[in-house]
Every structure is written in structure tokens, then in C-alpha cells.
Amino acid sequence: MNKRVQFQDLGLKDYKETWDFQEKLFKEIIDLKIKNRREEESIDTPNYLIFVEHPHVYTLGKSGDITNLLVDEKDLEEKGASFYKINRGGDITYHGPGQIVGYPILDLDNFFTDIHKYLRFLEEMVILTLADYGLKAERSKGETGVWLDVGTPFARKICAMGVRASRWVTMHGFGLNVNADLGYFDMMIPCGIKGKAVTSLNVELGKKEVNMNEVKERLLGHFSSLFEAELIKQKTEA
């Protein structure tokens, strides 16, 4: 089992370019797994973790409802936003500057073959990171992602999640609002859940801006601990 995870921070990068990069890594891992099985070899499969910020974009998952996007193409254009229908689970999600988007592309055969545990670990990574900032974040029963003030009229989501897995290889991931422009969430029904607010770390802390690099380092630390992974930081980009 290979628990080394190659980490790359792509900075601000176009959604489609990053999606194509994910697909390339995802396919390479699956192809190697198939080759190993067919040729009875045991070549280690690689694992990747990508952090990125995207220009304003809305993405709709396989089971999503397009009516949860509340604007048309003209409105999107005026707001400088794009839209993609994609192959992850979940409904509609927004990504944009000030949000840390994480894409773990892992062969879960290297860790554990349990998708529910995998999702819980991603949520726990975010919950522990927010606890570092004095916030009590939680899961909300029947609703993906990470929330604050669950079970109250003030419940609000701070991190969205949606993943895809095939042959125990994962892609897509999470979007944690750190310094996000929350106005863009008004253009959709977040994750198809009506009547629930969205928030960002800087808002919760009453700050104009939170240090993104510090949040990334905390996320990486909790990821490594939870997955018992060895992170190998790379400077190369897609």
C-alpha cells in the first residue's frame, strides 16, 4: 500500500483546465490498476491532492437540478461566471476566488475501501481545521458538507463536498469558503437545499481577510493525520 500523496497547489486556475488535469490523473491510476490485475503485477499506484482557486464558476452534479441555478447565461456573463455540468455526485455548487478547493485523487486501495469513511474523513479534516480557529463545525444529517449551528434557524454551510469514485479511485472533492464573495451564492440554491444560508471563514471570524496559506497548511496537517499519509509537496503545475 502506497500512502505517499503528491501535493500540488495550482493557485488560481480555470475550472475546465483543472477538471481535465484531474481526469488525466484519475485515468492513469485506473489504467495502472487494470494493468496490475491483468498482468498480475503489483506496481504502486500514485495518489494526488490538488489545491486550487477557480475563477467564478457554477458546477452541477449528475443528480442535480438545473433549476437550482437561478440565473441565465446572460446573467452569468455579466457576473464573469461560467457553468459546467460535471460527473460528481451532488447538486449545484459555486467555486470562486477566496475559496480553497481540494481535489484528492486517491487510490483508496492504498488506504481503506470505504467511500462513506472517505467522505467522513474529508469532513473531519475541515471540522478540525475550523476548530483551530475556534469554530464548532459539524455534519448535518442527510446534508453533505460542513455546517455551523446545525439544528438551529441559523444553520449555515461553510464547506461543500461532492466526489466521484471508480475502482476505488476518487476525484472532485471539497470547497471551503475562506474569503469567498458570498453574493455569488445568491445566484443558486446551494446544493439544492432551500432556506439554508452559506458563510465564509472570514465572516465568522469578523475579519476582512483570513490568511489562505495558513488555512491550507492546517488542512494539509489534518489530512496527513487522518489518512496516515506522507505528503510530498510539488511545485509543478498542470
Query: What are the DSSP calls for 69-131, one per residue?
Result: B-S-HHHHHHTT-EEEE-SSSSSEEEE-TTEEEEEEE-BGGGT-S-HHHHHHHHHHHHHHHHH
Assess whether 159 carries a catalytic annotation: no
What is the CB neighbour count within 10 angstroms for residue 35?
A: 11
Alpha helices, DSSP H, located in 14-65: 15-39
Contact 69, 60 (CB under 8 A): yes
- Which are the contacts of 96, defined by CB distance < 8 A and separation ≥ 6? 53, 54, 55, 56, 57, 81, 180, 181, 184
Catalytic residue among 25, 191, 198, 219: 191
Q: Which three cell numbers stand for residue 20?
A: 481535465
Residues labelled catalytic: 191
